[in-house]
Structure 1
């Protein structure tokens, strides 16, 4: 498997295992099975013909209901990755996760960009079909089939041949997909010893992910060991930016140490 070493803004090298194209394809297939299961359930157990009769064949109302029914499928990967911290159900089952190229959790904007650009990665045929139709070549069936396959495989080939395994949406959103092959150790690296009587200071630390906390801890330990105050200042600024915490600590070391302990307090008690 490909590995990628990232130097964070705090000059700490973090190594990730990139998800292979076949792992991502498997997750994609699982997600599509879930989508088809949803459609099957909807059309099997809801009587749309009765609904159409009740609406007296009003085409606008029918189209609105169809759009409403399809909305969970249309936005599936977007809301899944936002709500599940960079994972769809398929990715979660296969221990895959979307992160940004700095190793932190992508922003909501990043998730929107990579979701929207699926139209190029997997659905370019829709755009090409409109263009071909405008040229009056709708009878060229072989050409249409080839364009369909080409449009569907763009994302596949980009993941296969780019250095970081990025499809077009990943490249523009600055995201990568990693394989959490060692999930136990991944969590253990962020553990902090806290007493039962410990009182947390910053509830907003729950905005961080396990991966964020791991990077913060590694960066903090490295900077504290060598008294690298510039890195501590940068790290503190990044934490404040991500969590929107109002710090009550003047010392960078005390602040970051408290953030790590608070993160462990809230995540272990959930």
Structure 2
């Protein structure tokens, strides 16, 4: 499997395993089974004749209702990836996920771009097929069928041939799809999960180096896991000695946790 190496703001290299075409194809098939199941049950259990009678066979109103009913299928990939943090149900089952090429969570705009460009990845030549079919070019029927099939495969061919396994939508949205099963754990890096509204407490943490932060985090997690409170006390004292921080936290674990988050806040915003 190909790997993607990302250098963080702290100059730490993180390696991700890129999802291959087989994983993405299986996820695609699972998602399509879900969509077809929705369509099947919608047609089976919704009384379309009743809808027609209700609107007195007003074709515009009936068409509008049809569109509303099938909107969940049309936007399935888009809202799934936004709500499930880069995953559809198929991707979740295959343990793959969409991320930004820089390792960050994609923006809603990124998700919209990659969703919209499915038209090119999977349906571009389908439009050509429909056009030629409408002209009734029976003599070129085989060519039309070939164009249709190639159009359906464009996305998968790009995934196979591109360096980062990107379809056209991924390339334009600057996203990649990674395999989650053996990717680096977040706790193995000096990165900390902080929100956009996070307010730092100790500006003096910038006196620490990346290596200091890594050692602090490794020691902190090990000591916390082993309930080694003596080590936590020593670690707290060492941090205060190096940074000259005046702690406002009486709890050792809270203090060290805030120090790590503050360090990430200041180094990521530089």
- Normalising by structure 2, report the TM-score: 0.70
Asked if the contact 1:9/1:102 (under 8 Å) is kept, the reply is no
| Structure 1 residue 44, shift from structure 2 partner | 1.2
Mapped to 1, the partners of 2:40 and 2:182 lie a distance apart of 36
Paired residue for 1:8?
A: 8
Specify which of 258, 263, 270 is matched with residue 261 of structure 2: 258
Paired residue for 2:98?
A: 98
Asked if the contact 1:202/1:259 (under 8 Å) is kept, the reply is no
Paired residue for 1:178?
A: 178
Mapped to 1, the partners of 2:171 and 2:81 lie a distance apart of 17
Over 3 Å counting, the alpha-carbon distance change for 1:62 and 1:93 in structure 2 is same
Paired residue for 1:32?
A: 32
SS at match of 2:57: coil
Mapped to 2, the partners of 1:11 and 1:191 lie a distance apart of 10
Deviations 1:112-147 (Å, cap 9, x if unpaired)?
00000000000012332355368x463232121111
Deviations 1:59-97 (Å, cap 9, x if unpaired)?
100110111011000000000000100000100111100
Over 3 Å counting, the alpha-carbon distance change for 1:32 and 1:202 in structure 2 is closer
Q: Structure 2 matches for 1:191-210, cutoff 5 A? A: 204=197
| Structure 1 residue 203, shift from structure 2 partner | 8.4
Paired residue for 2:235?
A: none
Paired residue for 1:241?
A: none
| Structure 1 residue 186, shift from structure 2 partner | 2.7
Structure 1 unaligned runs (5+)? 193-200, 206-219, 228-252, 262-270
Over 3 Å counting, the alpha-carbon distance change for 1:45 and 1:203 in structure 2 is same
Mapped to 2, the partners of 1:111 and 1:142 lie a distance apart of 36
Specify which of 224, 229, 233 is matched with residue 210 of structure 2: 224
Deviations 1:182-224 (Å, cap 9, x if unpaired)?
37x73654799xxxxxxxx96846xxxxxxxxxxxxxx9x943
Paired residue for 1:74?
A: 74
Alignment partner of 1:58 is 2:58: yes
Mapped to 1, the partners of 2:156 and 2:127 lie a distance apart of 18
| Structure 1 residue 41, shift from structure 2 partner | 1.4
Paired residue for 2:137?
A: 138
- Normalising by structure 1, report the TM-score: 0.70
Structure 2 unaligned runs (5+)? 199-205, 214-255, 265-270
Asked if the contact 2:129/2:145 (under 8 Å) is kept, the reply is no
Mapped to 1, the partners of 2:46 and 2:176 lie a distance apart of 39
Paired residue for 1:84?
A: 84
Give the aligned CA root-mean-square deviation in angstroms. Answer: 3.2
| Structure 1 residue 4, shift from structure 2 partner | 1.6
Mapped to 1, the partners of 2:168 and 2:81 lie a distance apart of 17
SS at match of 1:86: coil
Larger Rg: 2
